[in-house]
Amino acid sequence: MVDRHFRSPDKRFGVQISEAELAKVVKQCFKAGRKETGGILVGRYTAAHDCAVVTSASDAPQDSHAGGTWFSRGVAGLQRWLNGLWKSETFYLGEWHFHPFALASPSVDDLAEMRSISTTESYHCPEPLLMIVGGDPKKDWHIKVFVFLAYEGLRELPEVKAGGSAPNDA
Ligand SMILES: [Zn+2]
């Protein structure tokens, strides 16, 4: 399975997601058409705690609401799913969503949502991830991955090409 890697230049924060899981996400974006969609990311951390391995990205819960430039993720079914994942030692890691035919850059609302999640006790996730898919899911999409840090907001984790290092690495 081919994985895609994202990492902060200082290597403190990394994210890994398989092409296969990403393909499922992009398919959801395609189905959403001109509206935003999204879901949650679940997975685990490596032993060194410097990389989050995303093992699954949910579809949009049925009670989600969306427009062309906004998305309100619902909660239906998520808690039950997360409870089941506990056994396989995978947990809530963060959120993903789709900016149809637009850049995968976080909005003010995205920042506020991530800040809220980071401080909501029930998520148990003080540094949640945000993965945004932008563009045309049929042929010309791109993704950006961020980690929310209380002291600086959303920090982008640039993609690291297989076998290479991040462009900012010295
Ligand atoms: Zn957004």
pLDDT above 70 as % of the chain: 94
pTM score of the predicted model:
0.92
Measured distance CA(78)–CA(126) in Å, rounded = 19
Residue 167 is predicted with a pLDDT of 53
Dihedral sign for Cα atoms in the order 104, 39, 147, 106: positive
Q: What is the mean pLDDT of residues 34-42?
A: 96
In this structure, what DSSP letter does residue 40 have?
A: E
Dihedral sign for Cα atoms in the order 18, 14, 143, 55: positive
Q: What is the mean pLDDT of residues 81-101?
A: 92
Residue 85 is predicted with a pLDDT of 87
36 belongs to the catalytic site: yes
Residue 169 is predicted with a pLDDT of 45
17 vs 84, more confident: 17
Residue 165 is predicted with a pLDDT of 52
Residue 170 is predicted with a pLDDT of 41
pLDDT digits (tens, 9 = 90+) for 96-138: 999 999 999 999 999 999 999 999 999 999 999 999 999 999 9
pLDDT digits (tens, 9 = 90+) for 56-76: 999 999 999 999 999 999 999
Measured distance CA(154)–CA(157) in Å, rounded = 9
Cα 113 to ligand 1 centroid, rounded to whole Å: 9
Catalytic residue among 21, 36, 152, 156: 36
Cα 6 to ligand 1 centroid, rounded to whole Å: 19
Cα 145 to ligand 1 centroid, rounded to whole Å: 12
Task: Say yes or no to pLDDT of 51 above 80.
Answer: yes
Cα 103 to ligand 1 centroid, rounded to whole Å: 9
pLDDT bin (cut points 50, 70, 90) of residue 24 is very high
Q: What is the mean pLDDT of residues 20-25?
A: 96
Residue 23 is predicted with a pLDDT of 96
Cα 163 to ligand 1 centroid, rounded to whole Å: 31
Q: Which domains does the chain have, with CATH numbers?
A: 3-159 (3.40.140.10)
